[in-house]
Amino acid sequence: MSPQTLSTAAARFAEDGYVVLEDLFSEDEIRPISDEVDRIVEGRADYMPAHDVIHEPGSDPPRLRNAFRMHIYNPYFLEIAREPKIVSVMEEILGRPVRLYGSQLFAKPAMVGTAVPAHQDMPYWPFAPAEMITAWIALDDTTLENGCVRFVAGSHRLGMLPHAPSGVEGNSLGLVDHPAVNALPERAVEVRRGSCVLHHCLTVHRSEPNRSAHPRRGLIYVYMSPRVEVTDPSRLKCPPDFPVVSRV
């Protein structure tokens, strides 16, 4: 990515709290990633432990909703997290060296994929400062009908906002209704397969159910700046040796 493209992406991100990197992966690059994710979705990935997958409530046969921490169970997913096209933007915004916190799949299966309540990511995490960014890689075209992610532009400047239990397995926290958030524009971000959307850990976002006949799969990675530290080890759900993904 050219220095010009990197600084334009960083400026957009600073303004809105998210930025779309359209067509970041070519079809040839995204296909093997998509195929491996399908193995997880279809229950063929025997490296995934049962405690790190959850299914859509009431789905019969059970349809996968989320998988967590895939990079710990399969080095292929760690390799994807090291993709220089993503890491270079992270370094531009967060500084070096960038570390990886987590990976997760939002499978949003056809017809039964449920909503993700509005939330910020930071209230879920035992870290400070709030210098963490999620890269959301589209494994399918995302549309209004299949539940594309919606971001509240500028909400990352509001600080950490009150959340309450949401009752949703996989997304246990939901934003408490907040006038400052309601005053900002929410943008539904439709992207093509292979695109990547970065969002700040304080940006409010959500998604609606998948009402289409096709899945809407998003593979996410969460990156941390060199300054981020664990504030409450008892809330960590993985070992604290976060892999450095910046090249030395």
Ligand X SMILES: O=C(O)CCC(=O)C(=O)O
Contact residues toward ligand X (CB under 6 A) are: 106, 108, 116, 121, 134, 136, 149, 205, 207, 218, 220
Alpha-helix residue ranges (DSSP H) falling in the chain = 3-16, 27-41, 70-73, 75-81, 84-94, 179-182
Min CB(2)–ligand X separation in Å? 27
Specify the residue, 154 or 218, whose C-beta has the smaller distance to ligand X.
218
| Of 78, 80, 98, nearest in space to 88 by CA | 98
Minimal distance in Å, beta carbon 248 to ligand X?
28
The first and second tokens of residue 93, run together, are 């915004």
Q: How far is the CB of 121 from ligand X (least distance, A)?
A: 5
CB of 152 to ligand X, least distance (A): 13
Q: Which of 28, 29, 8, 34 is nearest to 141 (CA)?
A: 34
**Least separation in angstroms between CB 219 and ligand X:** 9
DSSP codes joined into one string, 25-58: S-HHHHHHHHHHHHHHHTT--TTS-GGGEEE-TT
Which residues does residue 188 pair with via DSSP β-bridges, in sequence order?
A: 150
Tokens in use for 194?
Answer: 């292979």
Q: Which is nearer to ligand X, 4 or 99 (CB)?
A: 99
> Taking the complex as a whole, how short is the minimal distance between the CB of residue 26 and ligand X, in angstroms?
22
Closer to ligand X by CB, 154 or 170: give it.
Answer: 170
The two tokens of residue 221 are 């990675």
For ligand X, the closer of residues 96 and 172 by Cβ is: 172
Smallest separation, CB 106 to ligand X (Å):
3
Our CB check for ligand X shows the closer of 156 and 205 to be: 205
User: Toward ligand X, which CB reaches closer, 3 or 165?
Assistant: 165
> Quick one: 48 or 197, whose CB is closer to ligand X?
197
- Residue that is written with structure tokens 């504030």 in the block: 231
List of residues 6+ apart from 174 with CB closer than 8 A: 117, 118, 119, 163, 164, 165, 166, 168
Give the chain's end-to-end CA distance (angstroms, integer): 18
Integer Cα distance of 118 and 173 in angstroms: 9
